[in-house]
Chains A and B, each alone.
Chain A
Amino acid sequence: NAGVMQNPRHLVRRRGQEARLRCSPMKGHSHVYWYRQLPEEGLKFMVYLQKENIIDESGMPKERFSAEFPKEGPSILRIQQVVRGDSAAYFCASSPGDYNEQFFGPGTRLTVL
């Protein structure tokens, strides 16, 4: 019974490159959430998706960031033209529905040089 999977676990990019972060939810879960965590800060909500739909992207920067959760395959968080301020841990969580507890993956640690 695999949990939430994220890859890569560590990602290094130079300024201006693109970063793609992947998240496979737990089996049977159709809701995916992305969070960002900076040192000494809490988890900040970015985006909430269901299969083929973005439900809430109120926490995601308007530029350079996008997310998708296709009918088949993992959810992708894409950051274009990365800057040093994008360096953080990005966590994905999944749940079987609304108003339910969320189960987190191990995170992707993005470092922008």
Chain B
Amino acid sequence: QKEVEQDPGPLSVPEGAIVSLNCTYSNSAFQYFMWYRQYSRKGPELLMYTYSSGNKEDGRFTAQVDKSSKYISLFIRDSQPSDSATYLCAPGGSYIPTFGRGTSLIVHP
């Protein structure tokens, strides 16, 4: 079993939809949780960073962490075509986060 699991997709949704991206992990030592967005042929861009269980909101994005279930989610409200990218979850317990393989999201007009 991989330490971090993500469905690679692609996930295709219409513009304006609420998107739910999910990630599971196996290492209970993970203490912080990040989500990155990566456009094609670009470097990953940090979207969200949180330490605790619960929800963290930033604009249209909400990160949700459930440490008891080892489950991480990223919700995108009012999705836009510009949100089309690969989303990587990256939990970590030390200075090196463990990256998921990423979920490809396509938002079509």
Contact = CB atoms under 8 A, between A and B. Distances in A.
Interface string A17-61: 000000000000001010100001111110010000001100000
A42 B101 contact: yes
Interface residues of B, number: 21
Contact of A48 (B4, B43, B96, B101): B96
B3 to A, nearest CB: 11
Given A99-B32, A101-B34, A45 B43 contact: no
A108 to B, nearest CB: 10
B43 A107 contact: yes
Given A104-B44, A106-B43, A48 B102 contact: no
A98 interface: yes
A104 B45 contact: yes
A103 B46 contact: yes
Given A42-B88, A99-B32, A33 B44 contact: no
A104 B41 CA distance: 13
Interface string A73-113: 00000000000000000010000001101111111010000
Chain B CB count within 10 A is highest, among A42, A45, A98, A106, for A42
B99 A91 contact: no
A111 to B, nearest CB: 13
A43 B88 contact: yes
B34 A104 contact: no
A41 B48 CA distance: 22
Interface of B: 4, 8, 32, 34, 36, 41-46, 49, 88, 94-97, 99-102
17 contacts: A31-B95, A33-B96, A40-B8, A41-B101, A42-B4, A43-B99, A44-B99, A55-B95, A91-B44, A98-B94, A99-B94, A101-B34, A102-B46, A102-B97, A104-B44, A107-B41, A107-B43
Given A41-B101, A107-B43, 9 more contacts: A4-B43, A31-B95, A42-B99, A42-B100, A43-B44, A91-B44, A98-B95, A106-B42, A107-B42
